[in-house]
Structure formats: C-alpha cells, structure tokens
Chains A and B, each alone.
Chain A
Amino acid sequence: MNQHIPSSRNFRLGRVKPQAPGNRTIFCNDRQANHVARFKGNSISTTKYNFFTFLPKGLFEQFRRVANLYFLTISILSTTPISPVSPITNVLPLSMVLLLSLIKEAFEDWKRFQNDMAINNNRVHVLQDKEWVSIPWKKLQVGDIVKVKQDGFIPADLLFLASTNVDGVCYIETANLDGETNLKIRKALEKTWDYVTPEKASEFKGEIQCEQPNNSLYTFTGNLIIQDQTIPLSPNQLLLRGCSLRNTGHIVGVVIFTGHETKVMMNAMNVPSKRSTLERKLDKLILTLFATLFTMCFIGAVGSSIFVNTKYFYLHLDSTEEDGLAQFNPGNRIGVFLLTMFTLITLYSTIIPISLYVSIEMIKFIQSTKFINNDLHMYHHETNTPALARTSNLNEELGQVEYIFSDKTGTLTRNLMEFFKCSIRGEVYGNGVTEIEKGIAERRGIKLEENISPNAVRERGFNFDDARLMGGAWRNEPNPDSCKEFFRCLAICHTVLPEGDEFPEKIRYQAASPDEAALVIAAKNFGFFFYRRTPTMIYVRESHAEKMDIIQDVSYEILNVLEFNSTRKRQSVVCRYPNGRLVLYCKGADNVIYERLVDGSNDIKTVTREHLEQFGSAGLRTLCLAYKELHPDVYENWNKKFLHAKSSLSDREKKLDEVAELIENDLILIGSTAIEDKLQDGVPACIDTLQRAGIKIWVLTGDKIETAINIAYACNLINNEMKQFIISSETDAIREVEERGDQVEIARFIREEVKKELTKCLEEVRSYFSSPPAPNLALVIDGKCLMYALDPSLRVILLNLSLNCHSVVCCRVSPLQKAQVTALVKNGARKITLGIGDGANDVSMIQAAHVGVGISGMEGMQAVMASDFAIAQFRYLVDLLLVHGRWSYLRICQFWFNFQTGFSGQRFYDDWFQSLYNVIFTALPVIMVGLYDKDVSASLSMKYPELYMEGIRNSFFKWRVVAIRAFLSVYQSLVFFYFVSSSNLSAKNSEGKIFGLWDVSTMAFTCVVITVNFRLLMNSNSITRWHYISVGGSILGWFIFVFIYSWIRTRYDRQENVYFVIYVLMSTPYFYIMLILVPIAALFCDFVYLGVQRWFFPYDYQIIQELHRHENDDSGRAQRLEIWNQSQPEETTLEISELPRAISKNTGFAFDSPGYESFFATQLGVHTSQNAWDVAKRASVRSQDIEQKE
C-alpha cells in the first residue's frame, strides 16, 4: 500500500501535479462565449460504474481476483471433452459468486450515486436576465454569476466579486476541506465590490484568465480583465467548493472551476482498495492449495500414463477410428500424461473452494450492513448517527489492530471548550468533575455521587456550577472586588465578535479560538454580558455590578490590544472605563503571568499556583488573569512608544513585543480559569480498555505541544508515573540557530539535535529494560523534529524507540507526516494499524493505515466501536477455519478414489452433488456460524479486553492451526473413502444384491453432508435456533434434493447415474448402519482434539466462557446499554477533593487554536494575513455599518 502515499503527498502538501499547458479563459456572465471552450459541467459523480459500463467493468474488476480468473479458466476447460465433469459443476458456482459480487457492487455504487444526486440537486441562485434564479448545482456552468447566502455551501470554485459587507470581505469556514473550524477572510478586488445586486451584477462583463484546474488548495494565479484593465488575482479571491459562508449576508461570485475540476474534487483520491491481512493470508493458503492440487494432478497423470495398456481389452484402447482416444492411447504416453493432467485439474478444481469466496462475501456483507450499521451501541443519539461500515472488506482486520493512530480534535476531544472552574483570589469555584477525575476515582474504586444542583446553568461553552458565583451571589463572597475584576477581564480582554441579536440567549460569539468564546460566555453567565463591539469600544451589560439587581450597559474604550502569539503566550487589553479609569487586563499562561506579577501577596500566588496544578491534573486548560491600574501619564508615555512601534516598517512584530513588555509588568493576579477541552464521552475509560487489550494508542495532532500533552494527560495516555521523552524543536539552541536564518544550517543543526536526542532516549530505554522494573514510557515529539526523525537514516532509531513506548504523542504534524508515521509502523513493524480521525487532514493517515476509521457526525464513539468489533472479527476467523477446514476432506477424498480408478479421472460424485455441495448443502450453516457464532458475550469482551490480544497474536489463523485442521481433514477423507468403499464387495441386503458405483458414492456423499454439518455444530461456541434450523435444513435439503433428483428423468441426454439410487440405498439396513458409523468415526479425531485442546491448552476465551458459564449474557448486554444511557448526564460532584492524588507537574496551559497561525498555510509559504484582531475589527466595522444603514 506504499504507493498510496505519494498521492497523498500530492494532496496535502500542494505539490502541484503537472498542469496542462496554457490557461483557461472565462467570459463572465456569457454562456455562449464560454460554450466554445466546452468546460465541464458542475455535476459530480463518484460512482465507479454507470449503466452501460457496469457489466463489462464490473466483470473486469471481478476477474482481477486471481481466484475468479482461476475458476473461469477451469470453467472453460470443463466445457472441453477432456473434462470428466460437466461444465455445470464449475459454471454454476462461478456464476453465483459473480452474481453476488456484482449485486454487492451495484448496491454500493447505487448508494454513492444517490449521494451524488443529493449533492448535484442542491439549489443555488444564478443570475439570469437580471434576477436570481434558483437552479440545481449540476446545471451550473463556468462563467455563471452566482449568489451564495449566509451559511450556504459554495457550489463550485468561485471568483469572489462582491459581498454585502462593505469592504468586500466575506468569512468562510473550511471545515470540509481541512477540518479547521475557525473563520477565514476572503477579500474581493476593489474593482468588483459593487456588483452585489442583480441589476448591477448583470452589467458585469469581464474576462478571467487563470490557471488550468489543479489540486493545489492554497495557490491560485490568474488575471481579471475588466474594462481594459488587467488585475492580478490571488487565492484571496478564490472561494473553494465545499466551504460554507459565514457571517456574511450573501456574496456574488463567478464560477471558475466546476464539478470534477474544482480544487477539492481534484484532491479527492480514489479510495485505495484495501485488502485485509487475512485475505492476503488466504491467498497464500490458496497458493498452497494450488501446489497441492498440482502435485495431486501430477501423480494422477503419471499414474494414468503408466496404467493405460491394451491388455485391458474391455477398455478397447486399441481402437483406431475414435478421436476421443488420444487421452488413453497407450502408444502415446506423454499425450496421455498431458491430457490427463488437464482432466484432473478440472476434476480437482474444487479443492480451491469457490464457495469460500461466496460465503466470505456474504458473511462480510451481512456483518457490515446488518450488524455494524445497526448496532445500537454504536448509535449516537445527539448527532443521530449510526455506525456505518463503508466497506465490507476489513471487518476481520478490526480484530487484529495493534496500533491506533488517533487525531485529537474532533476525535478524542469534541473541539468544544467549556468554562469549567475558576480560582479567584485564592478561592476555587466550580463543582464539576472531569472525565479524568472520574477515571481516577473509578480506578481507585471510589463511587462518585452525583449531585446536580437544580439551577445549574448549562450551555455550550459553559459547564460551571457553583451557586456562590451565580446570579450575583458573588457579591457576598470574601472578595467581591476581585470577582468583579475577574469578570470584567473575561468580558473585555478578548478578540471575540458578537453575532446575532443582542440578547444573552440569542447572541453567538465568533472567536478564532473556542477557548476565548468559552471565557466570554462565562462572563455572560456571571452577569457581564458582552454584546457589541466597535473598533474602539466594547459594550458590556453588567448585572449586579454596582448594586444587586441593577442592570446597566457600560461601554469600555479599547485603547490598545496587545495580541497573543506563541512566544508571548499572553494577551492584554488597555481599556478606559466610562469614568476615565485606565486598566490593563491581561490573560495568559501561568508561567508568563507569574513572571510579571507585582511583588507581595505571596500567599495568594502560592494558593493559586496550587489550584493551577490541581486543574492541570484534572486535565483542564488553565489561564491566569491579571490586571493593572494605569496612571494616565504613564499610559500616554507608553502609548507613544507603542504607536511608534506599530508604524515601524521593519521588524514590527518584534518591536511591538518589546513595547508590550514595558507595560505588562507589575500585574496584580486576579485568579485563574480552567477550561475543559471537552473530551468525547468516555474517552479515558475507552483508552484504558484499549490499552488493557494490548493496543497502543498514538496521538497525532496538529496542535501545539502543550495542548497535546494536556490532552494526553486528560485521556490518561500519559501520567506522572511515566517516564517522558520529549523531543521538541522549541529549544533555545534550535531557536538560536533559526534566528540566524540559514536554512541549510538550520536543517543540519536540527537533524543533529534530533539524532542526539533519539540516541540518548533509546539508550535510556535500553537501560530501563536491562534493569527492571521498567517504568512506562511515553514519547512526545513535534512535527519539525519528526520531519528529520523520519529521515531514512534515523527512521530505525525512531521506530525502535517508539515501539518501546506505551504511548506516543506527535504534535504539530502535517497530514503527510501522519501518514508517514502510520506507514512507518505499518511497514517497519509489520503490525496492524488503525487510523482514526474526523477531518480532511486525517485522510492520508486513514488511508495509509490498514483500517481507517472516520468520525461521522461531529461526535463519535469509534474507539469503543473498535473494541466491539473484536468479537465479530473473532467469530469470523473461527468461521473461516471451519469453511476451509471442511473443503478438504471432500476433495482429498476424491483423490483417494482416483488411486483406485486407474487414474483415469473418473469422478466419484455426481456433478450436481459436487457443484451443489458447497453452494447449498453446507453453505447455509457456515454462513450461520459466520454470523452468529460468538465465543463470549459483548459485555464480557468489554470486561476482559485482554481477550483481544488473541486477535493480535493471530491465534486462530496460525499455520500451526491450519496444519492441524488440514491433518484432520485428511483423516476424515480417509475414513470416508475406505469405510464406504468397504461396502463394495459383499452383498448389501438380505437378497444378496450388490451396490454399484453410484450407490457407494451417494452413500459417501450423504455421510459427508451429515458430517460436515455436525462438525460445524460441534465447533460453534454458541448455538442459536438458527443453527439448528440451518444444520437441520441442510441435511433435510440434501435428502429432499436427492429424492427428487433420483426420481426425475429429463429429456436431456444425460447419464442417469443416480437414478433411483437413494431408494435402493434406503431399502438396505446397511445404509443406516453406515450412516451412524462414518460421521462419528470421522468426527472422532476432531472431538479428541477439541477435548484435549480445551483441557490442556485452553484459549483465554474458553476460560472466560467457563468462568461465566452460568450467566445469561444477553441481559448483561442489555444492562450495558442501560448503563450507557444513564451515564450520559455527567454532572457528578463528589468527595473529589478528598481523593488522594499526585499533584500534577503539568499545569495544562493551553491557549491556542489553529486559527492564530494557519499552520499548513505557513508551511506552504502562503502568508495568510489574518490575525484575530483584524478579523474582529473588520467584523465590527461591518456590523456598525449595517446598523447605520438600518
């Protein structure tokens, strides 16, 4: 699967595929002119086939499978006269397989088609005759002028002309493209700002010359020629298909690229078809079988060529006039050998069981469509999303996963920040219990008591419950003034935009980082409602501020904003109160703030520090809040320097930072906030379970190292008992080299550093392992270091190191690196990997891993799903063994028979018996077993996750096990043949009559059918009534079939070999005696094997079965469902403070989001000049503006 990585490289890093030379010229708003160019339409199709290509293409796909091709060859061979079997034997099963596979393909393609249709039929407004006309997306053509409304999706790649915002900007969300939810600004050319109304837009005549369609998301070059002026276009004017418009009334744009030529569609790769490791092993098995087949045929053919001799006069081998003789001509033994070879190949062809494929396809299909998709345990109520198995090929792979590569945002966390706790002036507020605390408590066996206070306020971003602060109650707290400052700091010091009506319930905050939004929402709930922003003012509706129950609107003048960046790790706002008071509010990382605090009041600092550590260990993200009163003179003085720095042309950022340092000192600590980066439900518990199951979880995230570690703590992936190796590029030494700016030098230096670190860590690991007990190890590495560590020379060290670690966190990694890391483990360590993620940035990882899991809907419980699959998978394996355990005896049995027929290639069984054997008489029970067998119940497999390790070790499909099965099969074939053929010689009823060939074979076949079905039953772990029905049905089916088959006569000229045979058989007592003896004798060995195996070498699951043999597992599962539902409300208060706990060294600072620096964009060298403050300012200008209009 290596070859998929290059394509993902193309995808993500924007390495542009070779373009068609030249450029495209688009005449705006002129369909006729564009008609000449024959641009493609906007309808998309992701289907594999269409109505006409389905049959040829689908068949072609099918015959690319070696097995199918093999059967096709055999079928063709069997139509020639050298075949001992009638073509029906091979053609019938093959056509059934093909039919089933084609139906499955058609079904899956139909679903894709429906999805496409839904997208193609979305409506969009297009300018036609000076008015907006709604047409479906698929009718859209290049050059059309379209209108997209707020929250609408962009239907094609558009050149952005105008928006209802005055300065021609619009805000788009690119979640569908890269998973980022922060807003991005696009700005139209000034020339085109006016074309908002249909009347005006219809006047727009221009010509666009731009690049040919390509897959680079972040680049675009072109020119707009309008009114004889050529204006260059940039990515800033490009709105990509799939983005959604936010915060903007509507926009007008010209369609540039449509349908499959849009950048996002050009990026869509064909989903690589993955094959499961088991399937590959099956291929090997089939190869082995083929070798066996060949050997058998060889022996048979040699035997045949030796046998033929004219002495057997009754065979008339000396006949000369006959053409069919070539095969038995004693004068030409080489010819005999070759022809017999072909004959035998067709005869034994069924040794490679085609029904194996039929059953596997069916079982997988039912497993995925019926079980996985319908599992109530994997249905998420809030987002209304059931689980979905998109492909049915990989079900069994789920049972063998050893490494999980997980994305963070949206997968482990909900990307939802909630204000959770705070500490004001040394007092902790907030009663919530985080997931991680619950996890700790659970592990210590402490029962958490739920204590939901009835008036707790819950909303998105605010999950705080403490009556002491709510509804103005804070006035009665020991430090009401501090509280007030705290709330004001929250309400003022931010870059958030309010949106919507100015009521607390209706307002929505647009923030670059969800943390910020959570803080502002918190202020709102505490009674400091920030409702409006202008470029210079912030309006806050304060309740209870001066007196209880007084609500007043206060406007604060924002004088300066000292922005957040990753080196400063803080943000400050200088504001002027209406009464002229000048205050600087500052929030930031604890260590940064503590450095800048005024001396004194050390006890508060110490207490707050303790609180910070407490919050940190609970997995919360903390920020410190501080403020400082400013004297007007001091401020004026400083402001001059600030303005000077701001207007400087070189090194502006650096100068601004320096100026900020001057005023951000002598701060007074107010307290700290704790925000919960909301984990998905039950993530820590799930990770714990998975780890017990022997699965190693790696977190690969684009986030910062602090955030990543924080989440790793929260998820329980890292804890303080672990030895952590942190390999980061954020060291002073590296930074120093980087400042010198010599790229070659930087690369060389970092590589050296990384190598040094890796080697050091590896040595440390070795020393740990040489002197046990070894601590658990964790590796944290950032993207830049990873880039060098993935270098071929260091790759081995990295692999060795990381495989020894219990958890690995990679932060700041690009999508490509995610894929590389996955591929490293997959190819380097040869382990089964699973990639899980939600965003487009995880796609390459998901595709690189053996099993990719995507999060559908916003939330998912996919990790739980994975462990749930364990059983399904296991069952499947057992079934597989049964399936191919059972082919062998029938076929090998034929081999023994052939020894006795002078190697002529006479068949033992009737054609129809043979062809229907797999398809009807034994397939149903096999499928039943494949569907229903479960070793232990779902709840037990949750309880004993260690059982999963059997899958990882591949216990059930080892060659040893296969060999035992094969041996048993050979034994059974011997029993069948020799027991049954012993009945050849003497009379078989009291009338002295003798059985013929077909009597013997029918009897043998009856025994085979019975044995196979009972063997299946014997190997099942749980037997439902469907087992009985199918086993009974199969045996009954056989008898019914043979009764009818022996009765009818057709006009068709066939050999009526088995005519009346079964009635003859059933008239003899001998038949019944045989029917008891043969199956039991054949199953004897199996039974002994099962007994001995269970007794002396029990599998883990067998022990578990025994442990819980008296329990009814179904009730357990139902309970689990109930518990699951109950545990949804998670407001638990408890004696959590009494929990003995280690104080975390990690205080969990985090205050970032991808929004501040678009990581991928910078990596590409595309500078997106969007800092939060700009966004805020622009937006506020807009809203002001709208107000004025109104």
Chain B
Amino acid sequence: MATNSAGSNDPTVNRRQTKRPKYSKFTQQELPACKPILTPQAVISAFLIVTAIFIPIGVASLIASRDVVEIVDRYEAACVPSNWTDKIAYIQSGADKTCKRELHVEKRMKSPIYVYYQLDNFYQNHRRYVKSRNDEQLRDAGKGNSTSGCDPESNVDGVPIVPCGLIAWSMFNDTYSFSRNNNNVTVNKKGISWKSDRDHKFGSDVFPKNFQNGTIKGGASLNETIPLSQQEDLIVWMRTAALPTFRKLYGKIEVDLEKGDVINVVLQNNYNTYSFSGKKKLVLSTTSWLGGKNDFLGIAYLSVGGLSFFLAMAFAIVYFVKPRQLGDPSYLSWNRNAAGQ
C-alpha cells in the first residue's frame, strides 16, 4: 500500500524535521487564570462594598457643597433703564451703562469670596468659535503675524490683530465694584487664571496690538502696555467653556462678609447678551475643598450608593426566597429540554 499523499504536492518532504509544535503555555492556551464567577454572594457583596464607599463620599461632598455660600444675582434685564424698550439698541448706544444692585448676605461668608459672572445661552463651544484663536501668536512675541484660524478677526486693514480671533474679540466687558456700608470692598483681580495658562500659554512679552480697532467692537478692549500674561481677564475668557451656560472668575474679595450685610454693586452693563437673549448673572461664592457649590456630585454619590444598597437587599431577598443551587445541572438547556418533553 502506497501512502496516500494527497494534498502534499511536495515530493521533497522526506528531509523535513519534526513539526511537533513546541509546548508553551501560551500556544496551548493554558496560562494560569483566575476564573471569577459572579455568584450571588459576590454580587451582593460587590453592591455592599459600593454602598460602603459611596455613601460616606456622598455625605462628605454634600456637606462640602452645603457649606458653600453662594449669592446669585441676575441683572441683565433689570439693568436696562425702563425708558429703553429696545434692549439691543440700548446696549449698542452710547448711553450710560452704570447700574446699581444690592446683594443681601444671608449667611456668613468667609474669605476668600470669589466673584463670577455667569453667561447663559452663550456658545463658547461652537466650532467656529473654539478654533478662532492662534496659540502661537499668544505665546510668542515673534509670531505676531501668525493669525491662521482667526478669521474673520485676524487683521484690520491688513494689520494683524493681537490677540486675534473671535474669542478674544468677543471678550466680556462688564465691570463690577462692590461696597459695604459705603466702604469700598476691593476686588483682587490677580491670580484668577490657571497658573499654567499664565506661564505657558500667554507670553509675558506679547502685547496687544491693533485690538478692537475694527468697525464693530465685540467686547472689552485691552491695555496695550500690559503683556498678555498679565491680562488675566483675557486668559480666563480664552479658556473656553464646555457648555453654553458657564461661569468665569472675575475676582476675589478677601474680606469676610457677615450675615445681614448688604453689598452694593455698581456695575457697568456693557456686554451685549440681549441680541441672543442670554442671561447675565453675578455670582459671589465661597469654596470648599471640593470647589464651589455642587450638590449634583453628592446626590449622585448618594443615589448610586443607595441604589446599590437597595439592590443588595433585593438580591439577598431573592437569594433566600428563590435560591438557585450553584451549578444545578437541571438548568442546562439539554436537561431542560429533556424535562420539557
């Protein structure tokens, strides 16, 4: 009987060596492995562990959030004099924009107290907006002419704008000044931006140039003698927000405000949010270790923790009421079918 060598067309197979595969745990797929099985006990205890971790964190963050005192004052509607029916016309006119507001301190606020402005319906995250800047120009004095991506605010009459782009052009320009019992409360506007931005993204030798010289002024002007790295309002503004409702830091009040204090605010209502019906709010807030007032975090923690506690209980009840033997062969589909017939 000749061997049936069908399939191998190669007559020179005789000199082949052994083709026995080498043993390795990898190729034989025998790597040691742990095989977790999601037993009811495991499920219940996992839920309990989650409960045990989440409830305290939730409580802690909720407490932190509750400790934060926040005063929010919406002013954009009230700061238009009643004789102006067309708000947009008012804001674009040369009329006096001064506006006075009173804030009542309901609870003692320890310094530092942070002053924010909050804008609404303002799409700082619009694609056209976000990319309308030039980081090189902001950082490097030698790159003043690089304005790519900044259209339509890249130059005026062929002269490049520094800082260019829509973001800078539309910078917020309301100003606030505070007083208590006729005593001026100073607002410290230093250190309101992230240090990394000051140090690395905005050059200390880059000065504003040709800024807001176009036909339409979008917002604030900049002092051309101060380098960009010290123009903190600009730096804050240029860190674009993720959502259309956002807050930006305006300054810090470094005295404590007592309960019952009345804060008088004199503000210049310059910025136009009326054309897109955006709200403007002034916010005074203290912080905790977790930051500003944020109940969401605590609630989220508590609800996840609570839900997992509830589920742990539910599973435990099911476990006692209707237990399923681990590895019960009667659950195997072929056994079930056999029983079904």
Contact = CB atoms under 8 A, between A and B. Distances in A.
Contacts of A381: 20
A385 B5 CA distance: 12
Among A175, A325, A901, A1027: residue with most chain B CB under 10 A: A901
Interface in B73-102: none
A560 interface: no
B311 A1103 contact: no
Contact of B242 (A244, A319, A934, A997): A997
A242 B9 contact: yes
A118 B185 CA distance: 93
Contact of B38 (A416, A1056, A1094): A1094
Contacts of B331: 1098, 1100, 1103
Contact of B19 (A118, A343, A385, A1060): A385
A856 B8 contact: yes
The winner among A946, A992, A1055 for most chain B CB atoms within 10 A is: A992
Given A371-B29, A992-B292, A1056-B135, A316 B287 contact: no
Interface in A321-371: 321-322, 324-325, 327-328, 343, 370-371
A51 interface: no
B142 interface: no
Contact of A1064 (B11, B127, B196, B293): B196
B269 interface: no
Contact of B33 (A119, A327, A932, A949): A932
Contacts of A1109: 35, 37, 326-327
Given A992-B285, A994-B247, A1084-B304, A119 B43 contact: no
Contact of A984 (B32, B242, B300): B242
Interface residues of B, number: 124
Interface in A889-928: 900-902, 904-907
A324 B148 CA distance: 12
Interface stretch (A92-100, A778-786, A825-833, A1069-1077): A1069-1077
A994 B57 contact: no
A210 B236 CA distance: 91
A990 B288 contact: yes
Contacts of B57: 1073, 1076
B249 interface: yes
Nearest to A182: B2
A1049 B3 CA distance: 69
A463 to B, nearest CB: 14
Interface stretch (A57-65, A701-709, A1085-1093): A1085-1093
B159 interface: no
Nearest to B328: A1103
B12 interface: yes
Given A1059-B201, A1068-B291, A1080-B50, A982 B242 contact: no
Contact of A1069 (B146, B149, B289): B289
B321 interface: no
A1100 B333 contact: yes
Contacts of A457: none
Main secondary structure on chain B at its contact with chain A?
loop
Nearest to A932: B31
B194 A1023 contact: no
A990 B289 contact: yes
B312 to A, nearest CB: 10
Interface stretch (A307-315, A535-543, A645-653): A307-315
B27 interface: yes
A317 B327 CA distance: 67
Interface stretch (B118-126, B204-212, B221-229, B257-265): B118-126
A992 B153 contact: no
Given A988-B292, A1053-B136, A175 B4 contact: yes
A426 interface: no
Interface in A1036-1066: 1049, 1053-1056, 1059-1060, 1063-1064
A31 B200 CA distance: 81
A175 B277 CA distance: 87
A415 interface: yes
Given A981-B242, A994-B249, A1056-B201, A179 B287 contact: no
B241 interface: yes
A386 B153 CA distance: 70
Interface in B272-317: 272, 275-277, 285, 287-294, 296-297, 300-301, 304, 307-308, 311, 315
Contact of B30 (A327, A1027, A1117): A1117
A857 B136 CA distance: 68
A1114 B30 contact: yes
Interface in A1002-1028: 1021-1027
B242 A1000 contact: yes
Contact of A461 (B1, B19, B34): B1
B125 A319 contact: no
B2 A1023 contact: no
Contacts of A1090: 38
A1070 B35 CA distance: 35
B320 interface: no
A682 interface: no
A517 B2 CA distance: 12
Contacts of B301: 1077
Given A379-B20, A1023-B35, A1077 B285 contact: no
Q: Which residue among B54, B201, B290, B311 has the maximum number of chain A CB atoms within 10 Å of its CB?
A: B290
A517 B1 contact: yes
B6 A840 contact: yes
Contact of A987 (B46, B61, B285, B297): B285
A818 B104 CA distance: 92
A855 interface: yes
Interface string B114-155: 101010001111111111010110000000001011011100
A854 interface: yes
A839 interface: yes
Nearest to A44: B9
B242 A995 contact: yes
A1001 interface: yes
Nearest to B341: A772
Given A312-B123, A932-B29, A1107 B327 contact: yes
A796 interface: no
Given A384-B20, A1059-B201, A1109-B326, A838 B6 contact: yes
A514 B249 contact: no
A1060 B135 CA distance: 13
A42 to B, nearest CB: 14
A175 B6 contact: yes
A84 B131 CA distance: 9
Nearest to B325: A1106
A1107 B324 CA distance: 13
Nearest to A415: B4
B332 interface: yes
A1024 B25 CA distance: 11
A1091 B315 contact: yes
6 contacts: A312-B123, A988-B291, A992-B285, A1053-B146, A1060-B201, A1114-B32
Interface of A: 84, 115, 118-119, 122, 152-153, 173, 175-176, 179, 181, 242, 244, 246, 309, 311-317, 319, 321-322, 324-325, 327-328, 343, 370-371, 373-376, 379, 381, 384-386, 410, 415-416, 460-461, 514, 517, 838-840, 854-858, 900-902, 904-907, 932, 934, 938, 944, 946, 949-950, 979, 981-997, 999-1001, 1021-1027, 1049, 1053-1056, 1059-1060, 1063-1064, 1068-1070, 1073-1074, 1076-1077, 1080-1081, 1084, 1087-1088, 1090-1091, 1094-1096, 1098, 1100, 1102-1109, 1114, 1117-1118
Given A312-B276, A854-B7, 19 more contacts: A118-B12, A242-B9, A321-B152, A322-B151, A384-B20, A855-B7, A858-B5, A901-B125, A901-B127, A934-B29, A938-B29, A985-B294, A986-B247, A994-B116, A1053-B136, A1084-B304, A1103-B328, A1117-B28, A1118-B30
Q: Which 4 A-B pairs have the closest CB atoms?
A: A986-B292, A1106-B327, A992-B114, A314-B170
